[in-house]
Structures are given as structure tokens and as C-alpha cells.
Chains A and B, each alone.
Chain A
Amino acid sequence: MTVALEAGPRARTARNGANPPMGGDNVLEARALHVYYGAFRAIENVTLPIARNRITAFIGPSGCGKSTMLRAFNRMNDLVPTARVEGDIVYRGQSIYAPGVDPVEVRRHIGMVFQKPNPFPKSIYDNVAWGARINGFRGTRRELDDLVEAALVQAALWDEVHDKLDQSGLSLSGGQQQRLCIARAIAVKPDVILMDEPCSALDPIATLRIEDLMQQLKERYTILIVTHNMQQAARASDYTAFFNMGDRRQGYLVEFGPTPELFTNPKDPRTEDYITGRFG
């Protein structure tokens, strides 16, 4: 049984690519979330709202569970047999962990870009078109061409690849590959895009391009990004969540707030230590 995840007209307009009105409401919300790998508790009791059409950054020391937290938002952790979730994540008013919710449906709305660029060993065109095809794209070849072009334009890659769409996606540079992965995620018209350290394998110029791109994308999509780069979080995000690790290596949320506030006036001393680099 599949519970439709369309929680109202807004979801539909977002998927149709129309500009939803900017607003302060939350698309996603983690509620008292715990994530376990077997008996190990990787995330402890996190409650976190994700604002629509905003960029929310996750920062924190290595191993504190940022990736685990991010992947909880589109049920990617389901692919790890030992992973288990307590608490809930609500997407547009509906629990994504409720019985009967199909994780495939969740991921179709909440897409993902990974740390290491991972294009398919297919042509640039097919990399972008594949997601639409498997999601039951019913359209003419022309419409698919338009979809591919629109996604590549939005990912700021079109100018570089429009004359070599039939070349392998693997023939591109690292930064281009990552933008291709973003185009691929966009092509299925998601609502939210999760990005797990999308720039960590890129040079500073390519990193800046992706950051610019994120600013454009947030007009249409809600973006969650994990980053180790404090400047990146400070320049590119609207909200920042700082995670830390407890004495049993469990990750917990220390502080969450608007980015300028968190960086200029942290409430928690541990946040201050971390962002000033005085962290042990």
C-alpha cells in the first residue's frame, strides 16, 4: 500500500516547476528522532524544522552523525540492513516513517546529491533523462529533450555540455560531474534536495560555482547541505544546525538557528568553540 505524499496544492505546484511563494513554513521536520545502527545509537533525540525554499546546513565534527541525519530525511538509511529509526520525520504534514509509506515515493520527492560525484556510466543525456524515464515519464522525445535541457540549465552545466550530450558522464571534470548529478536530481522534479558534502571533492572555483548554483536553486527547492567547510556554511546557508558527539559517540543537536545569528552570536559555548576552531 502506498500513501500518496501529496499534501496539498503546494506540493503539486512545486513539482510542476512553478515558483512556490516564498514563506517561512516548514517542509520537513524531524521530531524526537533517534537513529540506530544495530544497538549503536548514532543520532539521539533530534528535533529540527527545515524551512521551505531555504538552505539549511549541518555542521559538526566527523562521525557525529550528519550524514546519518541527512539520509534519514529520504529514508536512504533503509538501505543499511541494521539501521533503525525511532521518532518521526514529517514531510508536508505527513510522517515518512508511517507504516505503508513507500521509501521509493519519499526519495522521488526528496532527492540526493552525494559527496563523491557519482554519474552513471551512461551518456550525459541519459544521466539526466534516466530518473525521469524510470519515474514513468510519458512524453515525446522532444519533451524529454526539453526536460534534460531545463535540468542542465538549472544546474548551470548546459553551456559546457550542450554540444556533447552523447558523451559519457564520466568524461567530465569533477566539478562538472557534480553539477551533472545535481541536474540529474533536479530532472525528477523533487521538492527537497539533500546534499552530503557536495563540494568536498572539488577545487575552490568549482565549489564557488556550486554555491552560486545553490542560491539559484533555493528559489524552487528546499536544500539541506552537510559541510565541513565553516565558511561555506556561513556564506551559503540560511539556517545552520550544529551537531556534536556525546560520550557514547551518539550524535545530538547542540544548536540550531539562522546562520548569521549562530555564527556571530552562538548561544552554546560548544558551538562557539567549534566555529572558532577551538574544538578538541
Chain B
Amino acid sequence: MTALAPGSIGLATSDAARQVARRHRVGRAGLAVFQLSTIVGIVVLGALLYNIANEAAGLVAYEHKTDPAAVLPGGRDLAALSAPELAAVLTANLSPGEVATLEREAPLAERSQAELRRLVDERVLETHAAAAWNLTDSVLDRPAIEATVAERHPDADLRLTSWLSPAFVTAPQSGDAEYAGIRTAILGSLWVIVITMAVAVPVGVAAGIYLEEYADHTRWLNRAIQTNISNLAGVPSIIYGMLGLAVFVRALEPLSSGGAFGAADPTTANGRTILSAGLTMALLILPLIIINAQEAIRAVPSSLREASFGLGATRWQTIRHHVLPGALPGILTGTILAMSRAIGETAPLIVVGMSTYITFDPSSPFDKFTTLPGQIYQWTARPQPEFHHIAAAASVVLLVLLVALNASAIYGRNRAQVRY
């Protein structure tokens, strides 16, 4: 757009033209600020992703307790062996008892090559990582790394490894970073989020409906409730953790550890169960869901309510047939945001006693649990660098899980969209 020169149209005094030019300058300055902010955001996001990817893969120097040449047929490389050959190696080198246990879990003959290779690595060769490098160094500095390995770990194989692998996602927890997986953490996260949403969404939406459609805003009690809910949304999550600890873990221990239902052995969990965690998280996101539901309900045009009442509909019929369908997309959007928040929260779960070392799959709300962010936190806190690599790999999984849940929720929201 070109600024008009002073006097270029008869009507414009030079004062007015100068004024217009100044307004355009202000507008351009604003635009520049918005573009810059967007670029900063993109750079930060890129840095985050780079940082995670950089840690999640790279060169690893593997050392073996047992020399591969001694056990692998023909001194061949582990990766080159077929599944039956690997099964043979296992049967030849493990005790009959160990082989029987493995066969019971799943017959060796039916297991995949990757699975068998991992077993041979873990049980026969007793491979472990002696040193690991991040991806950037691995690509740019490979000769130097090779020299270091040759000098310090002369027996090690140097392999480019992705710490994130199908085995990492499906394996249970382990004390060795090379064999540790996040299955229990993923299942724990899913259990907690399901309980959280199952409690928080119905309660939050119902409270939102009450506050918007029924409560009389001229009464001080309702105004006080409203103010409190808005303030609760800003309370730090650790405080909710303390509340959850006091209420669900301690006071309601017989319920939260399932003893009252005769469900689990109450002595081990002591109330520090999936149920306690889910309820604590539900409290945490409840104010968000209520406030969001209220906003979504308020956005439904009042002309629709009037039309409905004008036909002799009751308040509930109006809510059920017009307000809720109209508010649904907005409610879903808020639910997505609240769910993302709940999946990523760590602090309150640490307070309510999330275990970090769980090797069995959680199978009921009364089980002890760990979650992905809890696992990541615990691994990053360890001194051994391999654990930092698997923490990065777990971060990738957490992000993928978040994106997947969000995508499905957005799909649902778009299908529910109403046009007025």
C-alpha cells in the first residue's frame, strides 16, 4: 500500500495525509513485532526438538562380558544371524531352567529376530554400554570418537544406535539403561489420564452448566464460588499434590488402595495408587475444565435459548438440545488442553508417591504406578549418561503420545462443530 502524498487528493489536507502515514507506520511496527515473536517461538520449538533428538540417538560403544566370537556360530555378527540361529544360541548358552521360563512366556521359535537378538545381547553376551555420544558429535566427530573407543574400550563395538526402538517402548522397567523400557510408564500414564478425565470432565462440565445456566449471578454466594474457581486455576500444582497426599493417600487410604473393596494387597501401596494419582490430577484440572465449559456455554448465542424457551421448552430441554451441542466443540478444546496439562504434570504425582521403579504392568486402579514424565524425571536425575539418552527417548514417546491424543480430540471437535 502506498501512502498518499500530501495534497494528492483534493480533499486531503496535508495534515490528514501526514496523520494517515503515521498510522500506517504504527501498523507496520506492530506487524514486525508479531512476526518477530512468531520467529522466536519457532526457533525455541526447533531448539527443543533438536535437543531431544540429539540425545535420543547416537554412537554407543558396547562391551560384552562374553566374547561374541566364542558363542556366535562362525564368529558372525549378531545382526547377521537368523531367528532360528539366535534361538539355538540361546538354548546352547542358557541354563535349561532359563530356557524353559522363556519358552513359557512365548515359544522361542515364534519370536522375532529383533527380540531374540535383544535376548542374546542381554542374557548370553551380557552386552552393556561402556560409553555413548549424542547425535551431533556422532555425525561430525566420528573419527575422534573411534580413536577414543580404540584407546579406552579396545574390545567394544561401536554402533550407531537409536535409544528409541520398538523394544524400548514395549520393554518393562530395568536397572540397566540398555534394557530399560517404558511400557509400565506408558500404561501408568494412560491409567492415570483415563481416571483423571473420567472424573474431571463430567464433574467440570456439570459444574459449568450449573454456574452458567442455573446459578443466579446476582447472589453473593454464587459470585464467591465463581471467584474461587478462577483463583483455583492458578494454584501451583504442587499444592494439589499436597492436597491429594492428605486426602486420597492418607485420609482415604482404605478406599484408594482398594482395601475397602478387597481388591489389592493394601500393605504395599499404602494409598499411593493410580486412583489417588488420577483423583489428584482431576482436582488439578477441574477448575480449568469448569472455566472452559462456562466460556463455551456462554458463547452459545442467547437467541437460540430464547427460541427454545419460546417454544415451551424447559430449561433442561434447552440445555440438552441447544446449549450443550453448541458448546461441545469448545468444551472439547478445553478438555484437550486440560488433558495435555495432566499428562505432562509431574510434581503432584511425586508428592502423592509415584513409584519410579515398577516392573509389572499396572492392571487396576489400586496398583502402584509410574508415569512417563515421572520416569523421565527420575532418569535425568541419574548420574550415568546412558540414562539421559533413554530419558530423551522417553520424551519423544511422551510428545508423540500427546500429539496423538490431541489429534484425536481435535478430530472429534471438528466433527462436533456447529455453524450458526
Tell me the A residues contacting B by CB distance below 8 Å: 74, 76, 79, 81-82, 104-105, 107-109, 111-114, 116, 118-121, 130-131, 134-135, 168, 170, 181, 184-185, 188
Contacts and interface: CB of A to CB of B under 8 A. Distances in A.
Interface of B: 216-218, 301, 303-314, 317, 321-322, 325-326, 418-420
Nearest to B215: A81
A107 B307 contact: no
Given A81-B218, A112-B310, A168-B419, 16 more contacts: A79-B305, A81-B217, A104-B314, A107-B309, A107-B310, A114-B306, A118-B306, A121-B326, A121-B418, A121-B420, A131-B312, A134-B313, A134-B321, A135-B311, A185-B310, A188-B312
Given A120-B304, A120-B322, A134-B317, A104 B310 contact: no
A107 B321 contact: no
A120 B218 contact: no
Contact of A170 (B216, B218, B314, B420): B420
Contacts of A108: 311-312
Contacts of A107: 309-312
Nearest to B305: A79
Contacts of B325: 121
Contact of A135 (B217, B312, B326): B312
Contacts of A188: 311-312
Contact of A118 (B217, B218, B303): B303
B311 A130 contact: yes
10 contacts: A76-B306, A76-B309, A81-B216, A104-B312, A113-B310, A114-B306, A118-B306, A121-B304, A134-B313, A134-B314
Nearest to B219: A81
Q: Among the interface residues B305, B309, B325, which one has the most CB atoms of the partner chain A within 10 A?
A: B309
Contact of B310 (A114, A119, A135, A170): A114
A79 B307 contact: no
Contacts of A112: 306, 310
A183 to B, nearest CB: 12
Nearest to B314: A104
A120 B307 contact: yes
The 10 closest A-B pairs by CB, nearest first: A108-B312, A112-B310, A131-B311, A118-B303, A107-B312, A118-B307, A121-B418, A134-B317, A134-B313, A104-B314
Nearest to B303: A118
Contacts of B322: 120
A111 B313 CA distance: 11
Contacts of A118: 301, 303-304, 306-307
A121 B308 CA distance: 12
Contact of A181 (B218, B301, B307, B326): B307
